[in-house]
Amino acid sequence: MRIIIFGLPGVGKGTQAKILASKLGIAHISTGDILREAIKKETELGIKAKAIVEKGELVPDEIMGGIIREVLNEERCKNGFILDGFPRTLEQAKILDQIFSEIKNESTCLIKLDAEDSIIIDRITNRLVCSVCGNIETKSDINDNFVCSICNSTDSFIRRKDDDAEVIKKRIKVYHETTAQVFNYYKEKAKTIEIDGSKSIDEVTKEILSKLSVN
């Protein structure tokens, strides 16, 4: 099974992708995680991508396409995968079509999570990230001791530079002007599922699995 999860930044794509990958036994491919790791390690790609990401802009298609081609040919993707953060442009979608034809995988399912812009802005500006394990939590969910609920690290929560309100608004603008076109591109090419991403995590997961016909 190959799945592309799609929607505004902060709508919950990463959270749902991790849950679905675990439940379905497939690989979770997060371009955001790949880029952040490259930036942290200061690789050649990371150095090029750092300034672009922090401005809320999209990393060039040829760079992302090369990353995805390498990852999808790895052994962990043999039984299926869920793509989180790619494709974000029509050119990336065309690159992905080429990759899919090369790996000769099964048909594609596109999951689109919807939410109002105002909900997204509020959600992202109120979230913090654990610098140790990458766990994302809202300020209201973090306990008084600032202990991560996943790795139990203390005082490890930070705010990502790309979670700044102005950067978020720019990312949302880019999404509406560029990325939203990708969904229309796939309407005739893949099974499409649209979900209200403003619902609770459990409700969204249950609805996705139901529409995927998975118990």
Coarse DSSP helix, strand, coil percentages of the chain, rounded to the nearest 5 percent:
50, 20, 30
Q: Given 13, 36, 112, 123, which residue is catalytic?
A: 13
88 catalytic, yes or no?
A: yes
159 catalytic, yes or no?
A: no
160 catalytic, yes or no?
A: yes
2 catalytic, yes or no?
A: no
Distance between CA atoms of residues 108 and 17, nearest Å? 15
Which helix (H) or strand (E) element contains residue 169?
helix 165-174
Q: Given 36, 112, 123, 171, which residue is catalytic?
A: 171
Beta bridge partners of 157: 130
127 catalytic, yes or no?
A: yes
Q: Given 2, 36, 88, 112, which residue is catalytic?
A: 88
Pairing status of strand 27-30 against strand 81-84 = parallel
Retrieve residue 67's tokens.
């990353």
Q: Are 130 and 156 in contact (CB under 8 A)?
A: yes
Q: Given 50, 160, 170, 191, which residue is catalytic?
A: 160
Q: Which residues are catalytic?
A: 13, 88, 127, 160, 171
